[in-house]
């Protein structure tokens, strides 16, 4: 299927049906990372790379108890942070990035997480996915579409895109979807990927999006 934005009425109706179906499934989708402040969400998302939200939610309470804000984390040692985040994987690089990002937040942004995409991207360990999560979840700013492993997999299965490149997928989804849906769409697709369209064991017989899913039809 073409990866270009929908050009005909039939395809536009199909996309609209997918959006309606996702909204029926998840009318009020929420981020599943636990956090109390914008800073804590930023750190949790950095830790979530190649790691489950469940694991991150186990790690962050003691981490934030020891280092609750950017000021505290900026003064942490590499070893202190590594010990606390080790079970999330790639812990040395994550600890390094968390400390570096915290120092920049303190030095350049007065200790507050910035609400501007370019400023967020200037932080160590922050790419567009992380920046989009923080902007959408904490500031209600739809600067782009979060593309994680679930969004990449399901947007391909649903025939919304035909690419494995996160940057290209984000660009195409931004062109395809109404801007007012960018934030909610990612949350909904992530939850659908965790609840029903599970990798390698999808529950297609339980999926209300089945008739709109070329990927599922190809398996039959």
User: How far apart are the C-alpha atoms of 107 and 27, rounded to whole Å?
Assistant: 40
Catalytic status, residue 53: no
CB contact at 8 A, 213 and 157: yes
| 12: annotated active-site residue | no
Secondary structure in 3-state letters for 80-132: HHHHHHHHHCCHHHHHHHHHHHHHHHHHHCCCCCCCCHHHHHCCCCCCHHHHH
The active-site residue, picked from 53, 119, 129, 205, is 129
Residues 6+ apart with CB under 8 A from 50: 89, 90
Point out the catalytic residue in the list 7, 53, 86, 148.
148
Catalytic residues: 129, 148
């Amino acid at each position: 299927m073409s990866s270009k934005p929908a050009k005909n009425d039939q395809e536009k109706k199909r996309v609209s049906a997918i959006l309606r179906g996702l909204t029926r499934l998840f009318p009020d989708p929420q981020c599943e990372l636990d956090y109390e402040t914008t800073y804590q969400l930023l750190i949790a998302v950095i830790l979530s790379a190649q790691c489950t939200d469940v694991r991150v939610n186990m790690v962050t309470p003691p981490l934030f108890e020891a280092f609750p804000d950017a000021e505290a984390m900026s003064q942490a040692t590499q070893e202190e942070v590594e010990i606390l985040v080790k079970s999330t994987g790639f812990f040395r690089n994550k600890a390094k990035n968390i400390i570096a990002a915290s120092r920049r937040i303190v030095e350049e942004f007065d200790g507050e997480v910035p609400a501007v995409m370019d400023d967020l991207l200037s932080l160590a360990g922050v790419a567009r996915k992380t920046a989009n999560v923080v902007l959408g979840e904490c500031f209600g700013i739809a600067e782009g579409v979060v593309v994680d492993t679930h969004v990449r997999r399901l947007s391909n299965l649903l025939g919304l895109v035909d690419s494995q490149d996160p940057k290209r997928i984000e660009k195409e989804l931004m062109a395809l979807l109404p801007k007012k849906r960018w934030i909610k769409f990612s949350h909904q697709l992530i939850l659908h990927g965790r609840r029903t369209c599970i990798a390698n064991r999808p529950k297609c017989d339980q999926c209300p999006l089945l008739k709109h899913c070329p990927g599922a039809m190809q398996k039959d």
